[in-house]
Amino acid sequence: MSEVLSQSEIDALLSALQSGEVDVDTIRHEDNTRKVRVYDFRRPSKFSKDQLYTLEVIYDNFSRLLSTFLSGSLRSRVNAKVVSVDQITYEEFIRSIPNPTILNIFSMEPLEGKAIFEINPIIGFSIIDRLFGGPGLSNIKGRPLTEIERNVMEKLSEKILSLFHESWLSLIDLEAFLETIEINPQFTQVLSPLEMVIIITINMQIAETEGLVNICLPCLMLEPLSEKLNTKFWFSNSVSNANENSSFNLQKVIEKTTLTVAAVLGINNLSVYELLGLQVGDVIPLEQNNDKEINIYVESKLKYHGKPGLLGNKIAVQISNVCMEGSDENE
């Protein structure tokens, strides 16, 4: 909405123009400068800043999950944090990463297409060293993975990609599946060179080793989610999912809670004098007929009536009636 000047402001501006205090050419130049915006037709922007920010929020969540998972798996302090989210061409991405590197080619069903989870060799060999019982140092450079190292990274990458499900759950219920692992970026022809991709760069620190991992998502893969990729939609769904998860988790906790259940065969009142005089072999009569149902208490609350008996070699009670709430006895 354009700014509206008051009459006094208009008079002051006209006075300044007449006196030469304000130059008309300067105003025109500034106005034209504001309207000009550089646009690179070779790198068209597929997603807005708000959509990129939503992706940053999603992978901030993924980074926290990744830190927790790797800290437990490697038994070492791991910190992962998103440092940038950019739109570039696939060719620019390939040129920006080292050769050799660790390229996990994966799919995200139900979305179409292939994506890349690239792990810098500095981080990759540090992880492998930790998994093999070492201190996590990464002194090996410029060589591909051995067959054993490749198998280890495949299993680890599958577990890492499984974290995508929870990260994306506020927008879409998806599953990431590892397709293959490549080493040479130049031979990884997942997309055409000029196709636009989203690059999420995550800085990872494992003990004293620090490096980058990159997630390359084709814009064509994310286009079906373009309407959902906004912070308002993400946060509203996050609150809803959080409430559902809280209820589900609370239910699970309650289901596992242990309660004390007591079947009372009978009761009687004794004086202190009678209690002190009890000896082995004495019989205490109970105010309970042998053909009458007994009371069953849950955490000292009367909940059932039942009949005592035997189940195998153990004393048992069969529930014959559920007590209705509201009576004085139940309360």
- Structural domain harbouring 31: 7-37
- Total number of domains constituting the chain: 3
Does residue 329 belong to any structural domain of this protein? Answer: no
Has residue 254 been placed in a domain? no
Q: State pLDDT tens for residues 18-63.
A: 666 666 666 555 555 555 555 555 666 678 888 889 899 999 999 9
User: Is residue 327 in some structural domain?
Assistant: no
State the CATH number of the domain containing residue 268. Answer: 2.30.330.10
What pTM does this model have?
0.60
- State the CATH number of the domain containing residue 174: 3.40.1550.10
Residue 152 lies in a domain: yes
Residues 133 and 69 in one domain: yes
**99, 125: one domain:** yes
**Concatenated DSSP letters for 252-302?**
HHHHT----EEEE-------HHHHHT--TT-----S--TTSPEEEEETTEE
Q: Which amino acid is at 330?
A: N
Instruction: Residue 176: name the closest of 108, 96, 237 by CA.
Output: 108
Spans of the chain, pLDDT less than 70: 1-11, 17-45, 138-141, 231, 233-254, 256, 325-331
The answer to whether the beta carbons of residues 25 and 32 sit under 8 Å apart is: no
Residue 199 belongs to some domain of the structure: yes
Same-domain check for residues 31 and 144: no
Same domain, 67 and 212: yes
Same domain, 145 and 186: yes
Residues 116 and 11 in one domain: no
Domain for residue 256, yes or no? Answer: no
Nearest Cα residue to 267 out of 293, 287, 248: 287
Residue 4 CA to chain centroid, in angstroms? Answer: 47
Boundary-marking domain end, from 248, 281, 314: 248
- DSSP code of residue 230: S
